[in-house]
Amino acid sequence: MDIKTVAIDKPEDMNIILGQAHFIKTVEDLHEAIVTTAPNMRFGIAFCESSGPALVRYSGNDETLEEIARTNALAVGAGHSFLIVMTGGFPVNILNAVKSVPEICRVFCATANPVEVVVADTEAGRAILGVVDGVRPKGIEAAGDIEQRKSFLRKIGYKF
């Protein structure tokens, strides 16, 4: 087995959701879940088919985001993995809808941070072992940090 990392190549402020599913209709079902939950969100989805023609299947409502999703999904190359890239919203806006799609098995990360995907290559194929999502903690928050966090959440409308 060969273990390595694959960096997700995306603009710094772009959010992604990386996960694993199990069926060819994943792309269509994720597309429907996103537009039903967040109709104004722009997104691209790519899904690594794990049998038959073993293609990267894709969909979305923005060609640039579709290309980012396709390119990164192919680079990760793990069977049954999917990648959603989005603008005009955050993963929290669609995460429950994504997780409720029947063929979704797991979500590895939902983030705007730099992401490295830890993959294992075997004779049978490639698997995602995990992700590196952002940087290590630099310390423990102090009182001022707590107030800044709470203020930020209210500023962006997630707390009142």
How many whole angstroms separate alpha carbon 73 and alpha carbon 46?
A: 6
- 24 pLDDT above the threshold of 90: no
How many whole angstroms separate alpha carbon 61 and alpha carbon 15?
A: 15
Residue indicated by tokens 């940087």: 135
How many whole angstroms separate alpha carbon 86 and alpha carbon 2?
A: 31
How many whole angstroms separate alpha carbon 46 and alpha carbon 98?
A: 14
Residues 60-74, mean pLDDT to the nearest whole number: 98
The model's pLDDT over 80-126, given as tens digits with 9 standing for 90+, comes to: 999 999 999 999 999 999 999 999 999 999 999 999 999 999 999 99
Residue 44 CA from chain centroid, whole number: 10
Average pLDDT, the chain: 96
16, 85 contact by CB (below 8 A) = yes
Backbone angles phi, psi at 98, to 5 degrees: -60, -50
70, 119 contact by CB (below 8 A) = no
- Ordered by where they begin, the domains of the chain are 2-155 (3.40.1520.10)
158, 150 contact by CB (below 8 A) = no
38, 93 contact by CB (below 8 A) = yes
Looking at residue 132, its pLDDT comes to 98
**CA–CA distance from 27 to each of 22, 37, 111 (Å)?**
11, 15, 20
pTM of the predicted model as reported, rounded to 2 decimal places: 0.93
Strands (E), 8-60: 15-21, 42-48, 56-60
